[in-house]
Amino acid sequence: MSSMTTTGLLAGLLLAVAITTGGLVGFLLALVLGGLGLVVGAHADGRIDLGAVLGARRRG
């Protein structure tokens, strides 16, 4: 695990496995939570700027 992106992806996938009980809904939830973990980890690494995507405004 060399980066926060990888850590975020794995954390999201592990949470999805812990929450779900299987089936199609569980699989889709695992994909969504894994993607969310990937995005948060990429933001922590500085690869993407969620502020620009979500429309956050800087003050000053």
Predicted TM-score of the model (pTM):
0.60
The pLDDT confidence band at residue 9, using thresholds 50, 70 and 90, is confident
Question: How far lies 20's CA from each of 7, 11, 12, 30, 44, in Å?
Answer: 20, 14, 12, 8, 26
Share of the chain above pLDDT 70, in %: 83
pLDDT of 11 reads: 79
What is the band of 58 on the pLDDT scale with cuts at 50, 70, 90?
low
Q: Over the stretch 26-54, which tens digit does the pLDDT of each residue have?
A: 777 777 877 888 888 888 888 888 788 77
| Alpha carbons 12 and 6: distance in angstroms, whole number | 10
